[in-house]
Amino acid sequence: MGLGRRITAVAIFGVICLSQWLCLANGAGGVHHNATAMNSRRAPQKLRCNMYEGSWVFDDSYPLYDSSKCPHIRKEFDCLKYGRPDKQYLKYRWQPHNCNLPRFDGKSFLKKFKGKQIMFIGDSISLNQWQSLVCMLHSAVPQSTILEQGSEPITNYTFQGYEVSVLVFHSPYLVDIVEEKIGRVLKLDSIKNGATWKNIDILVFNTWLWWYRRGPKQPWDYIQIGNKIVKDMDRMEAFKMALTTWAKWINTEVDLRKTKVLFQGITPQHYHGKEWNEPEVTNCAKETQPLKGSTYPIGLPPASHVLQGVLNKMTKPVHLLNITILSQLRKDAHPSSYNGFKGMDCTHWCVAGLTDTWNELLYNVVTS
């Protein structure tokens, strides 16, 4: 090999990460030929590090905080308080394939977003993530006074001294449910709450958990699309219509120069062991370790494809906080029966736990 080619090879080998979001993956041999370098320059998508593709690794420096010292955790999510005996689920760190996920820095977050508002909008999964972020920030500035304001559907925790407000807005469907003479009507083409959301600095949306709920706990009696009212319809189609209404609202009402918008990926449940090749398992009660590897045996849930399809058609770019696969791998991270209700919960997540990783990813998106 000539001197010029050796220098080129060394230079290419030395450049691994251009930034936390733009990484060059090492090849099997570590050295790339000139042609490879030229091709990578022509196809920059090959250089980009996907923070959502990776695997879980044991890391004894985790969790990021002691949940017993966070006074803001609801009884649904406070697994250690309600007797969970194993703690290994707290010790896993998400490791992207070709780069590292920077550790959450609560003080840096509060300083960077001084005077700003971040709002989680959606169902109880949004509440789950909101609780996590409140604890992560509280642990960084434990002496800071937190001013709690509001009531259903909106709660606001403001960190005094930084004037950073972390809000949650309960809206399971994102679109409206209106009480009318015929009963409660789910309006798939209406978002009146948008007036409350649109001027927030960071918006994190989520919906899915309630779209298949039926019976006494279903919070609506009829569905309306335009002037048409029906008793029921295909729920996946209804979900798609609601997301399309939300997307149109973002496209027309939200100024992305002032507001960062993210949509959280579909959150998995773990009630059926056959999904992870253990057909005899019927819930998450005895799960103490994540799945190995980077893929979930049954693949993405159908709702993920619907969500991605709607996001792809938007005229304004919205970031998909794509936590689906990394959460599918965490069958061990649910409260199971270790919650204040003592019921089997393989839907929500322990705090501290997996939702802290969601917020580490969120932190890197909004600060990059």
Q: Which residues are catalytically annotated? A: 124, 345, 348
Given a contact cutoff of 8 angstroms between Cβ atoms, the answer to whether 76 and 340 are in contact is yes
Q: Are 76 and 341 in contact (CB under 8 A)?
A: yes
Pick the closest to residue 112 from 202, 221, 209 (CA basis): 202
Angle between helices 354-367 and 124-140 (to 10 degrees): 80
Rounded-to-integer distance, Cα 288 and Cα 160, Å: 38
Question: What gap in Å lies between CA 128 and CA 339, rounded to an integer?
Answer: 13
d(C-alpha 359, C-alpha 275), whole Å? 26
CA-to-CA distance for 159 and 161, rounded, in angstroms?
6
H-helix segments, the chain: 3-14, 34-42, 106-112, 124-140, 194-197, 235-253, 302-312, 324-328, 354-367
The DSSP letter of residue 93 is E
Here the tokens at position 167 are 């809000």
CB 93 within 8 A of CB 54: no
Asked if 265 and 322 touch (Cβ cutoff 8 Å), the reply is yes
Q: Is 30 left (phi over 0), alpha (psi -120 to 50) or beta?
A: left
